[in-house]
Amino acid sequence: MKVVTIIGARPQFIKAATVSRVIATREDISEVIVHTGQHYDANMSDVFFEELAIPRPDHHLGIGGCSHGQMTGRQLEAIEKVLLAEMPDMVLVYGDTNSTLAGALSAVKLHIPVAHIEAGLRSYNRRMPEEINRILTDHASDWLFAPTETAVANLRREGLPEERIALVGDVMYDATLFYRERARPPEWWDNIQVEPGQFILATVHRAENTDDPVRLSAILAGLAASEHPVIMPMHPRTRTKIDEFGLTLPDGIHAVPPVGYLDMNWLEAHSWMIATDSGGVQKEAYFHGKRCVTLREETEWVELVESGWNVLVGADFDNIFSGLRGSGSKISSPFYGDGDAAARIVKGLMGEV
């Protein structure tokens, strides 16, 4: 069986690494990796292939840095050409990016079966491009590999056929377990004079936060008001918008360059608390036993909010300030499987379950 894997953004590199590792152990599956180029900064892309030991992409499309519509359209056209040349038996797509939707649509229009890994997530905020991407991809896919019971319930509620849905757990949990021992402090760690376990790790990258000067300013002020120093790996978009809006980074926030996956794992494991607008980082906080303050009004990982691990604060200064001081009760539960999601996915694709 020949599989084409479509990836283009940092979280997808991590997810694909887990499944690619399982595929590599089998002689009855071959994999062709297509990198759309949606993340084109070296620290946001190239380093992940090196750290995670993912094979270099067979095709690099170099499409990024443009509007949602232009990016999706250009990716769809380019991916279609690759699929016509490769003629795979199936296409694997991950998550909810423009690359995900473009890969799914390209395959469907060529009558190539699609498997969606991380299917069934819903924030119920259709202003988020990711929400539209994940809904359309789910309804176009032949295999729906759901990470949680909540995701399965969402797919059933939308009337998707039961035989397409499989609860497999979360490949991000697989990755955290596999790379935990390989994590290490970033090279700059000794230069910032912050103690392990005594800092807040913050990431901000979503357009709803970065492209609104009022929201971005409130987030930075809320983070800076914490009793703990804040380490903030600076996404290129966030840095650009801070400069464009003429904002000053408050005292107490240590802006650092984007970090690789292993560095990020170490920072998460050694933080006191995590503040983020990233879906993946919310889960990683839980994997490392850290409370998370989510800089959004909603989340697709509702079980983390319901169990007390996560609190939604949006971009409101008072809510952020309160959330970073709170402790809250936490209910421990294996929401995301047993760390064997990738193996379950490959078996599902091969009809072995």
**Degrees (nearest 5) of the Cα angle 153, 128, 264?**
85
Burial of 329 (0-12, 13-18, 19+ CB in 10 A): exposed
Among candidate residues 141, 207, 149, 179, the one with its CA nearest the CA of residue 348: 141
Identify the active-site residue in 205, 228, 235, 254: 205
207/295 Cα distance (integer angstroms): 12
Amino acid, single-letter form, for residue 232? M
Residues in Cβ contact with 331 at an 8 Å cutoff, skipping those fewer than 6 apart = 307, 308, 309
- Provide φ and ψ at 267, rounded to 5°: -60, -40
Of 66, 73, 41, 56, nearest to 7 by C-alpha is 56
Are 18 and 175 in contact by the 8 Å Cβ rule? The answer is yes
Cβ count near 120 (within 10 Å): 27
Phi-psi domain of 94 (left: phi exceeds 0; alpha: psi -120 through 50; beta: other) = beta
Task: Kindly list the strands in the beta sheet with 292-294, ordered across the sheet, starting from the edge strand earlier in the chain.
Answer: 253-256, 230-233, 200-203, 273-276, 292-294, 310-312
205 catalytic per annotation: yes
- Amino acid symbol at 286: Y
Provide the strand spans (E) within 240-339: 253-256, 273-276, 292-294, 310-312
First to last CA, the chain: 17
List active site positions: 205
